[in-house]
Amino acid sequence: MLSNLFIVLPVFALIFAGWLARRSNALGPHATREVNRLVVYLALPALLFDVMANADPAQIWQPGFILAFALGCALIFVLALGIRLRQGSHLADAAIDGLNAGYANTGFMGFPLILTVVGQSGMAPTLVATIVTVCVLFAVAIVLIEASLQSQARRRDIARKTLLALIRNPLLVAPALGAMVMVSGWPLPQTLDKFLKLLGGAASPCALIALGLFLADSAGRSAKAGQRVEALLIGLKLVAHPVVTWVIAAPILGLAPEAVRIAVLLAALPTGTGPFMLAEFYGRQALVTSRVVLATTVLSVATLSLYLALSG
């Protein structure tokens, strides 16, 4: 298991570098937002476009993998949503908690981790998983939140607002444009290809540093939150999510071992920062969300190492 810890250690070392830079004030209070914007609006879209534009269509269209990963996310999301509603939570808060349990950090941690563990062949499935997570699952949560907060007269605008938000999402636009290039069969100009690789190469390290900055800010918040709720969401994310994904991918669908490994690794990732940004935007329970992100990220050092050891 120690050798598997060394595999994921560089990924967490970059997160720690961001955490240390913020805690030591080497980077100021606005660094989290600005580095995150660099990743979301420049580096990660460049990586997504480059991966999609240069991908083989057969690599992208993997219905078994898509079904396994999407169903795993959906079941955990619905389970968390139902539990929180039965506990008396508001629908908006329950939807965010559903994301806390089912929203894997595929964008920030998925690409560097899969590249380290699997190699370049894992980039296309990771791209598909990222689209499922940051677009489909996120959109469902937004619809539920809007439906619970808007008045009856405005509910007819929910679909339009959600569609507009997705159209403006660079993490959706970039792979969509890359898909158009892939389908056309046109090779990218050498200068553009070099530009994308330089900019996209910054996505993984900057994303991990941005996550470290975010966690440093979260660590300074008050510890008074719903500990039982946090424990539930942490357990769903780090244990139930990868287990459910494995059951769907291996015994039920019978996917190839590498596809199963990638799907479960991505499902085993900690909670991404998307739910926190949504909670902050809507003024919901951002404290619980920030602590779930922090706890799952720290604990995933052990859980990811354990899964790597079990999967060989």
Q: Of 29-38, 111-120, 272-281, where does mean pLDDT reach its minimum?
A: 272-281
pLDDT in tens, 148-158: 776 544 556 66
Give all domains of the chain, ordered by start, each with its CATH number. Answer: 2-311 (1.20.1530.20)
In terms of Cβ atoms closer than 10 Å to its own Cβ (0-12, 13-18, 19+), residue 190 is: exposed
CA distance 80 to 98: 5
CA 1 to CA 303: how far, in whole Å?
Answer: 11
* pLDDT bucket at 162, cuts 50 / 70 / 90: low
Q: With a cut of 70, say whether residue 223 has pLDDT above it.
A: no
Among 197, 271, 11, residue whose Cα is nearest residue 116: 11
pLDDT at 14: 85
Written as one string, the DSSP assignment of the chain is -HHHHHHHHHHHHHHHHHHHHHHTTSS-TTHHHHHHHHIIIIIHHHHHHHHHHTS-HHHH--HHHHHHHHHHHHHHHHHHHHHHHHTT--HHHHHHHHHHHH-B-IIIIIHHHHHHHT-GGGHHHHHHHHHIIIIIIHHHHHHHHHHHHS-GGGGGGHHHHHHHHHHT-HHHHHHHHHHHHHHHTPPPPHHHHHHHHHHHHTHHHHHHHHHHHHHHHHHTS---S-HHHHHHHHHIIIIIHHHHHHHIIIIIT---HHHHHHHHHHHTSPB-SHHHHHHHHHTS-HHHHHHHHHHHHHHHHHHHHHHHHHH-
Q: What percent of the chain has pLDDT over 90?
A: 31
Q: What confidence tens digit (pLDDT) does each residue in 106-142 have?
A: 877 888 888 888 888 888 899 889 888 877 888 788 8
What is the pLDDT, as a whole number, of residue 166?
67
Sign of CA pseudo-dihedral 97, 122, 62, 56? positive
* Arithmetic mean of pLDDT, 53-70: 86
Least-confidence region, from 88-92, 145-149, 209-213: 145-149
pLDDT in tens, 224-249: 546 788 999 999 999 999 999 999 99
pLDDT digits (tens, 9 = 90+) for 191-204: 999 999 999 888 87
| pLDDT for 145 | 83
Place of tokens 């580095």: 35
pLDDT, position 168? 76
Q: What is the mean pLDDT of the segment spanning 275-304?
A: 81
Give the residue-averaged pLDDT of 298-303. Answer: 87
Task: Write out the two tokens for 114.
Answer: 């899969």
Residue 165 has a pLDDT of 67
User: How far apart (Å, rounded) are the C-alpha atoms in residues 10 and 305?
Assistant: 13
- Please provide the average confidence, as pLDDT, over all residues in the chain: 84
More confident call, 218 vs 263? 263
- As given in the structure block, the two tokens for residue 276 are 């926190």
- Confidence class for position 259, pLDDT limits 50, 70, 90: very high
Of 35-49, 165-179, 255-269, the poorest mean pLDDT is in 165-179
pTM of this structure: 0.77
Q: What is the mean pLDDT of residues 96-111?
A: 89
Looking at residue 104, its pLDDT comes to 93
- Per-residue pLDDT averaged across 280-292, rounded? 77
Distance CA 94, CA 101 (A): 11
Asked if the model's pLDDT at residue 159 lies above 80, the reply is no
